[in-house]
């Protein structure tokens, strides 16, 4: 279960710091400081069911919820029926005295507007890449942006001269020289991006369309509750690396690109990006500078085009802007997806991080967000966290039945029941997460459920037979223990970011 926990980063001046006060607040925190679960909306939304779950959140001590559209939503996203459910849900939250946070995307990463942004803006706002090809010959085409005549050895670039008239070069290659050809690519439509592509988040027009199609739609529906029942909106994993989504070209070497980048680079750095761009990919005298200037430029463009623009809109409309960036837990991946993470936090009222699974060996994300919060006087930070407990519940419940106290047998059985329920829900979710289209999902579901229900039908009878044959529960419970361990190992494979029948798109992009 994905949880967003809002935490206080500093005490207010009106409340003196004391142990008793802190203890009392932790024991019974105010509504605004309680956990806020990511509330998955899928299927056909029914208001009576939504209302019942809101009551459940309050009963369980939650401070509210964050509406989070997930796979399987049948009520059309941002359509009239969906908006009506949002209105009534906010009204119910107001009645119950809990917060109704908004989430700005259909699934993730944020910026697509459920596919509307790229459809409205066309190629100008679709994610792009600039690729490098090393060759001895090339055919001129419209995708080529620049061509260089170069001498390389391994990763070293010894000489490099830009060919201005690359459509009909006048000089011939000498000896071991090669051409370095730079081509512009536009992302391909795919199922995850709702039949279109991720946006070019270095282009301000992308965020402008995102605001118009999503933020303005929510303002029209529940804007009167902004800053009250609706305290804020969460943006999730925006990235400049949208070109990689479902990319299947393992040999393609590329960097994130925007049609606005050459001019922005020249304005910010005082020289043309084409002057030394090949050194970005190789070692040479200009490599360090071009890499620094490239990442600095794309960071500033991303901040100004996306985070700052949305943050300003939220400020004008009385809404707290919250969220986290893509891959901020790894400094290399964070650079690829964002340029730099910390500059974005300046424009967020509640900057956040994503700490999925067990994160006892990584503190970069926490240090980054807390540092910016302290520097800019932000009173809250937010963390998006998974409660990964399915296998833990199954293992603990089974071991408890084997070796635990019989006085706690009810607890062990409850843990097994909850763990089994979680496992079933996860398996249903993976049919959509690990397939690229409805046809694949149907085939995977048919195969997995046929085998799964066969085991479900035979399992109880087999367990009963083993108990009767051995006059003990030990063997059946050891089999269940082995099944829980197998579930854990299979779950690790299922959790990998890849689709059935294809290699991982992210790994393909990294190897390119």
What is d(CA 248, CA 508) in angstroms, rounded to the nearest whole number? 7
Residue 243 belongs to some domain of the structure: yes
Is the pLDDT score of 353 beyond 80? yes
Is the pLDDT score of 376 beyond 90? yes
Residue 435 belongs to some domain of the structure: yes
| Of residues 229 and 496, more confidently modeled | 229
Judgement on whether residues 121 and 252 belong to the same structural domain of the protein:
yes
pLDDT at 13: 42
Residue 364 belongs to some domain of the structure: no
Judgement on whether residues 290 and 413 belong to the same structural domain of the protein:
no
Tokens of 347: 């424009």
**Across the chain, what does the average pLDDT equal?**
86
| Of residues 436 and 339, more confidently modeled | 339
Judgement on whether residues 269 and 335 belong to the same structural domain of the protein:
yes
pLDDT at 446: 78
Output phi, psi for 116, to 5 deg: -70, -35
Judgement on whether residues 334 and 397 belong to the same structural domain of the protein:
no
Is the pLDDT score of 68 beyond 60? yes
Residue 480 belongs to some domain of the structure: yes
Judgement on whether residues 150 and 245 belong to the same structural domain of the protein:
yes
Global pTM?
0.77
Query: How do residues 137-166 score in pLDDT, each as one tens digit?
Result: 999 999 999 999 999 999 999 999 999 988
What is d(CA 132, CA 180) in angstroms, rounded to the nearest whole number? 7
DSSP string, 33-99: GSEEEEEEEEES--HHHHHHHHHHHHHTT--EEEEEEEEEE-SPTTSHHHHHHHHHHHHHHHHHT-E
- Average the pLDDT over 378-405 and give the result: 78
Percentage of the chain exceeding pLDDT 90? 55
Is the pLDDT score of 3 beyond 50? no
pLDDT at 495: 64
Judgement on whether residues 402 and 336 belong to the same structural domain of the protein:
no
Number of domains forming the structure of the chain: 2
Judgement on whether residues 278 and 418 belong to the same structural domain of the protein:
no
Judgement on whether residues 291 and 417 belong to the same structural domain of the protein:
no
Q: What's the distance, CA 493 to chain centroid?
A: 19
Of the candidates 340, 375, 405, which is a domain's last residue?
340
Judgement on whether residues 121 and 197 belong to the same structural domain of the protein:
yes
154 Cβ contact partners less than 8 Å away, ≥ 6 residues apart:
none
Judgement on whether residues 310 and 212 belong to the same structural domain of the protein:
yes
Is the pLDDT score of 45 beyond 90? yes
Judgement on whether residues 315 and 257 belong to the same structural domain of the protein:
yes
Percentage of the chain exceeding pLDDT 70? 88
Query: How do residues 297-343 score in pLDDT, each as one tens digit?
Result: 999 999 999 999 999 999 999 999 999 999 888 889 999 999 999 99
- Determine the structural domain holding residue 215 and report its residue range: 110-225+238-319+330-340
Helix, strand, coil: what percent of the chain each, to 5?
50, 20, 30
Query: How do residues 456-468 score in pLDDT, each as one tens digit?
Result: 788 888 888 888 8
Judgement on whether residues 264 and 138 belong to the same structural domain of the protein:
yes
Identify the helix (H) or strand (E) that includes residue 217. Answer: helix 216-222
| Residue of 215, 216, 237, 201 whose CA lies nearest to 118 | 201
What is d(CA 93, CA 355) in angstroms, rounded to the nearest whole number? 27
Q: Using DSSP, how many helices (H) and how many strands (E) does the chain show? A: 18, 13
In the structure, what pLDDT confidence band is assigned to residue 507 with cuts at 50, 70 and 90? Answer: very low
Query: How do residues 179-218 score in pLDDT, each as one tens digit?
Result: 999 999 999 999 889 999 999 999 999 999 999 999 999 9
């Amino acid at each position: 279960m994905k949880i967003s926990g809002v935490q206080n980063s500093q005490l207010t001046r009106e409340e003196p710091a004391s142990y008793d006060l802190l203890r009392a607040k932790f024991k019974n925190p105010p509504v605004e400081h309680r956990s806020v679960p990511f509330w998955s909306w899928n299927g056909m939304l029914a208001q009576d069911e939504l209302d019942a779950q809101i009551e459940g959140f309050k009963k369980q001590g939650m401070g509210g919820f964050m509406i989070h559209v997930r796979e399987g939503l049948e009520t059309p996203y941002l359509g009239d029926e969906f908006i009506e459910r949002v209105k009534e849900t906010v009204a119910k939250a107001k009645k119950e005295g809990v917060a109704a946070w908004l989430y700005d995307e259909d699934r993730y990463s944020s910026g697509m507007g459920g596919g509307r942004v790229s459809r409205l803006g066309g190629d100008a706002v679709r994610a792009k890449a600039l690729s490098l090809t090393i060759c001895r010959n090339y055919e001129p085409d419209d995708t080529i942006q620049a061509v260089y005549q170069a001498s390389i050895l391994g990763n070293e670039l010894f000489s490099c001269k830009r060919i201005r008239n690359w459509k009909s070069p006048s000089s011939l290659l000498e000896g071991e020289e090669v051409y370095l050809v730079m081509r512009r690519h536009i992302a391909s439509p795919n199922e995850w991006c709702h039949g279109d592509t991720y946006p070019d988040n270095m282009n301000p027009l992308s965020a402008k369309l995102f605001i118009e199609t999503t933020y303005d739609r929510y303002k029209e529906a529940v804007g009167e509750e902004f800053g009250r029942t609706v305290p804020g909106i969460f943006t999730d994993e925006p990235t400049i690396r949208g070109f990689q989504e479902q990319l299947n070209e393992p040999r393609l070497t590329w960097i994130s690109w925007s049609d606005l980048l050459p001019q922005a680079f020249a304005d910010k750095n005082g020289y043309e990006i084409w002057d030394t761009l090949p050194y970005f990919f190789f070692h040479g005298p200009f490599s360090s500078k071009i890499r620094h200037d490239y990442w600095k430029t794309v960071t500033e463009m991303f901040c100004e085009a996306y985070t700052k623009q949305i943050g300003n809109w939220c400020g004008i409309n009385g809404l707290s802007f919250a969220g986290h960036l893509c891959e901020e837990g790894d400094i290399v991946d964070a650079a690829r997806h964002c340029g730099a993470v910390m500059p974005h936090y300046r424009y967020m009222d509640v900057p956040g991080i994503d700490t999925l699974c067990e994160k006892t060996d990584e503190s970069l994300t926490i240090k980054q967000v807390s540092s910016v919060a302290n520097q800019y006087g932000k009173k809250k930070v937010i963390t998006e966290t998974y409660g990964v407990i399915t296998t833990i519940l199954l293992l603990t419940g089974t071991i408890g039945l084997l070796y635990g106290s019989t006085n706690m047998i009810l607890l062990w059985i409850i843990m097994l029941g909850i763990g089994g329920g979680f496992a079933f829900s996860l398996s249903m979710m993976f049919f959509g997460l690990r397939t690229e289209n409805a046809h694949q999902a149907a085939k995977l579901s048919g195969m997995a459920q046929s085998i799964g229900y066969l085991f479900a039908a035979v399992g109880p009878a087999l367990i009963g037979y083993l108990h009767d044959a051995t006059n003990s529960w030990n063997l059946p419970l050891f089999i269940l223990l082995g099944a829980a361990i197998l579930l854990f190992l299979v779950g690790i494979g299922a959790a990998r970011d890849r689709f059935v029948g294809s290699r991982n798109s992210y790994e393909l992009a990294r190897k390119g």
